[in-house]
Structure 1
Amino acid sequence: MNNKLLLALCASSMITFSGCTTMASLAGADTQTLNLSATEGFNKTLQEARSKGTLDTSSSTYQRVNAVFNRLRPYADQVNQTGVKFDWQLAVLKADTVNAYVAPGGKVVVYTGIVNKLGLTDAEIAAVMGHEMIHALEEHAKSKIGAQALTDLALGIGLSAAGVGQGASAAAQLGSQIGIGLPYSRNLESRADQGGLMLMARAGYDPQAAITLWQKMNKLEGSGGSFLSTHPSNAQRIQAMQKNLPAAQAIYKAR
């Protein structure tokens, strides 16, 4: 397929993201390589957080997030179709930042601010976690990298990703390497929304909490929450989740 045509299709979400993930692999971001790079970056994030005293391993917030994480993990493994077993790991960072993200291969980073500032319930934490896990399980970061590589190719500037300054934190560098700073397409966000609903339901969390989570997120609009910058929250997304809620509720109630 012509590269410019594939770029347009990736950007408009008119086809599945397989073309973009193929382009990512050609650009050196195949599953194994991407997961390894993410692991190295995640380990640097852990080391830096430990040295600065910002790695949370004992607070009540950490305990709640970790409990949700561990409860979702086996269900996430059940739907892993990447062909590579994930080594799921969690880092809870002490910061007022309202954000959470997942790196390829199952490296989850949650800032305490998203839990504490929003007053999240355990089920709402599961909605955040499920959403992020689906991004990893469906390799959405690879799709973003592939789309960016195609953009670079179309503009004639090569396939190298933009770096970050040496003074940037390890977490920022990790985010840059795997495209965390790039917004997901509406299609990928929708997939993560709907997949996250089903994942949290399978783990025994009421999927209705995904609706209340995004309602809380909507109230933050205009306050500069970084989670909103990469996870656009709007009424249309909530409406889409409400349409899929009956199916998720059926899974939840059948447990």
Structure 2
Amino acid sequence: MLFSALKRRATLTLTVLCSTTVLAACLTTQTTSGGAVGVDRSQFVLVSSAEVDAAAAKGYSDVIAKAQKEGKLNRDAKQVARVRAIANRLIPQTAAFRQDAPSWKWEVNVIESDQINAWCMAGGKIAFYSALIEKLALTDDEIAAIMGHEIAHALREHSRERISQQLATSLGLDLISVGLGLSRGASDLAGMAANVAISLPYGRSHEVESDRIGVELAARAGYDPRAAISVWQKMSKAGGGSPPELLSTHPSPENRMRDLADYSARVQPLYEQARKR
């Protein structure tokens, strides 16, 4: 009896390992074109864009509803108008990386909070926290730098990639069910989408990609891409030596500044062209 149980468990384990290998080999995609900055990396995915976008929309709706109930949603009309105006200049530029992005159902809101944070969920669901703008005294160029970075996470579908990684390391039967196309609960995915976008840090490769795409989006929209350097310097100093959650897994400050300086220079001609329009 014990031998039979162990044999069945070994067989199941082998099946899971084989399934993981096949999925990893087959389920890769390139979510964006490279743009002028040349972002080019194949990504491992287990769930569809439609599933993650729907989950993100639900998660975003929940966050916004909670903020509204607590009287923390869009309290400063002038500040909200400023953030949305910057978004309206950046969003059309997303076409440089994927043609479908400008027609996403974009939403942009400002939440009253002491947290220095901002994020963009899958499908273009953006939130800025008031403290980020006020405590760091951000210029429009610096807001564009942060927003471009967060939009880049959505363009590259980093949330979809993170969710896929979570699924791939979860229980074997769960992985097999996803591989066979069996549905997951909508609330389960919504929670994962919100958690990945708001709470969980992205990996360093995701942050580097978003930095590079972000400076290009800003430049194309007519915002000085070099503002990415000043804004991240401000953020690294925020919190009395304890960096904000937004920087928790970002590359070391020295490497990041060098990379931002390099890529800001590369897209400077795009900025100059945009200023002439």
TM-score tier after normalising by the smaller chain length = 0.7 to 0.9
- Secondary structure of 2:119's match? strand
- Secondary structure of 2:267's match? helix
TM-align CA RMSD:
3.0
Taking the aligned partners of 1:121 and 1:157, their CA distance within structure 2 comes to 50
1:16 Cα deviation from its structure 2 partner: 3.0
**1:70 alignment counterpart:** 88
Identify if the C-alpha distance between structure 1 residues 172 and 64 changes in structure 2 by more than 3 Å, giving closer, same or farther.
farther
1:191 pairs with 2:209: yes
**1:3 alignment counterpart:** 20
Deviation per residue, 1:101-149 (Å, 9 max, x gap):
1110000011011111111100000000000111101111111111222
1:16 pairs with 2:41: yes
Which amino acid is the alignment partner of residue 73 of structure 1?
I
Taking the aligned partners of 2:67 and 2:225, their CA distance within structure 1 comes to 32
In the superposition, the TM-score normalised over structure 2's length comes to 0.73
Identify if the C-alpha distance between structure 1 residues 80 and 45 changes in structure 2 by more than 3 Å, giving closer, same or farther.
same
1:228 pairs with 2:247: yes
Which amino acid is the alignment partner of residue 124 of structure 2?
G
Work out which of the residue numbers 203, 206, 220 in structure 2 matches 1:202. 220
Deviation per residue, 1:137-193 (Å, 9 max, x gap):
11111111112222225xx58459xxxxxxxxxx987622x4543322211111100
The worse-fitting range, judged by mean Cα deviation, of 90-99 and 230-239 is 230-239
Identify if the C-alpha distance between structure 1 residues 85 and 70 changes in structure 2 by more than 3 Å, giving closer, same or farther.
closer
Question: Does structure 1 retain, via aligned residues, the 8 Å contact 2:207–2:250?
Answer: yes
- Secondary structure of 2:126's match? strand
- Secondary structure of 1:3's match? helix
Which amino acid is the alignment partner of residue 149 of structure 2?
H
Identify if the C-alpha distance between structure 1 residues 194 and 130 changes in structure 2 by more than 3 Å, giving closer, same or farther.
same
1:54 pairs with 2:72: yes
Taking the aligned partners of 1:237 and 1:112, their CA distance within structure 2 comes to 25
In the superposition, the TM-score normalised over structure 1's length comes to 0.79
- Secondary structure of 2:110's match? strand
Taking the aligned partners of 2:210 and 2:148, their CA distance within structure 1 comes to 8
Question: Does structure 2 retain, via aligned residues, the 8 Å contact 1:82–1:138?
Answer: no
- Secondary structure of 2:170's match? helix
User: 1:70-109, aligned counterparts within 5 Å?
Assistant: 70-81=88-99, 85-109=103-127
Which amino acid is the alignment partner of residue 41 of structure 2?
T
**2:148 alignment counterpart:** 130
1:239 Cα deviation from its structure 2 partner: 0.7
**1:219 alignment counterpart:** 237
Taking the aligned partners of 1:181 and 1:230, their CA distance within structure 2 comes to 12
Question: Does structure 1 retain, via aligned residues, the 8 Å contact 2:123–2:154?
Answer: yes
The worse-fitting range, judged by mean Cα deviation, of 188-197 and 245-254 is 245-254
Taking the aligned partners of 1:68 and 1:172, their CA distance within structure 2 comes to 29
Question: Does structure 2 retain, via aligned residues, the 8 Å contact 1:144–1:182?
Answer: no
Question: Does structure 2 retain, via aligned residues, the 8 Å contact 1:194–1:241?
Answer: yes
The worse-fitting range, judged by mean Cα deviation, of 235-244 and 72-81 is 72-81
**1:167 alignment counterpart:** none
- Secondary structure of 1:108's match? strand
The number of aligned residues is 230
Work out which of the residue numbers 113, 117, 121 in structure 1 matches 2:135. 117
**2:15 alignment counterpart:** none
Taking the aligned partners of 1:50 and 1:83, their CA distance within structure 2 comes to 27
Q: Runs of 5+ in structure 2 lacking a partner?
A: 1-17, 29-39, 178-189
Question: Does structure 1 retain, via aligned residues, the 8 Å contact 2:152–2:213?
Answer: yes
User: 1:143-222, aligned counterparts within 5 Å?
Assistant: 143-153=161-171, 156=172, 158-159=174-175, 175-176=194-195, 178=196, 180-220=198-238, 222=241
